[in-house]
Amino acid sequence: MQFVTLRTITNDLLKIVRASNISSSETISLRQLEDWVHQYRSILLKRDLDKGKKPNPDYIQEIDSLRLEKIDLVGDDVITSGIIPHGVESGVYIYRTSLSLPKTIDLNFSSGFTYVGTPAGDEIQLIPEGRSKWQQYKKYTANDKMCFLRNGYMYVMNNEALEFVTIRGVFEIPSEVGRFVNPITDQPYFDMDSKYPIPNNMIPALKDIIIQKELKIQVTSPTDVKNDDMNNPINVSNTNI
């Protein structure tokens, strides 16, 4: 089955805008349509996730082989400049993602990150930042692999050298994953022609919300739900809702 892309969705919406002959159609850009697609996808997904169900796999994006950098940790302070405060010993290291991560859609009582792990497949437990300050003093779990979020970065506590991690999550703006590049293929993890992270059965609802709420077009026949990027005819009127 052919998957749906961001380009397909926005092109379908643009065809509907042009067919409507509304006066503002020429000022609506693909970028604006992209923003609306991301915005209302978040609303639809959040509505579903608030029911307490596990995230649909179609919501989830993966960033594989995300590079880490070693950071010097002194007490509760992370030293990034290499300058250690006078009288304080160094030598405790953790790792931090080299780039800040996209914001996730939060789940009920938990983060929107669904998996953090090593390239070998070992899962790393995501914990609150406050707990990380005491982890090194735990008798039985001091050497466990754990991670926490701070200012958009993922910090990884690990007793072994670690260069990469894999992260999966329900991200608020899917296109932000495009900032990350696969080190093997040198290709971004998301672009306009990547599979858009939403189930096919939500696409018609997503389009209808944008058409009626943002474009103010009253649909008089079903939208093109085949997502085949074909210019299938659609009847619309200029009636505001």
pLDDT on residue 240: 36
Does 58 score more than 80 pLDDT? yes
DSSP symbol at 79: E
pLDDT-based confidence at 72, cuts 50/70/90? confident
- Number of helical (H) and strand (E) elements in the chain, helices listed first: 4, 10
Q: Could you report the per-residue pLDDT of 97-144, keeping only the tens digit for each?
A: 999 999 999 877 778 999 999 888 889 989 877 655 555 545 445 556
Q: Are 177 and 58 in contact (CB under 8 A)?
A: no
pLDDT-based confidence at 21, cuts 50/70/90? low
Nearest to 189 by CA among 64, 35, 10, 68: 64
Which three-class secondary structure state does DSSP give residue 108?
coil
Nearest to 36 by CA among 225, 173, 169: 173
The one-letter amino acid code at 235 reads: N
Average pLDDT (7-12) is 94
Distance CA 82, CA 11 (A): 50
pLDDT on residue 61: 97
pLDDT-based confidence at 159, cuts 50/70/90? low
1 versus 30: the higher-pLDDT residue is 30
Q: Could you report the per-residue pLDDT of 174-212, keeping only the tens digit for each?
A: 999 999 998 888 999 999 999 999 999 999 999 999 999
DSSP symbol at 119: T
Q: What is the mean pLDDT of the chain?
A: 79
Domain map (residue ranges) of the chain: 6-54+197-237, 61-179
The HSE-up count of residue 193 (CA atoms within 13 Å, CB side) is 2
115 Cβ contact list (under 8 Å, min separation 6)? 123, 166, 167, 168, 169
Average pLDDT (9-31) is 78
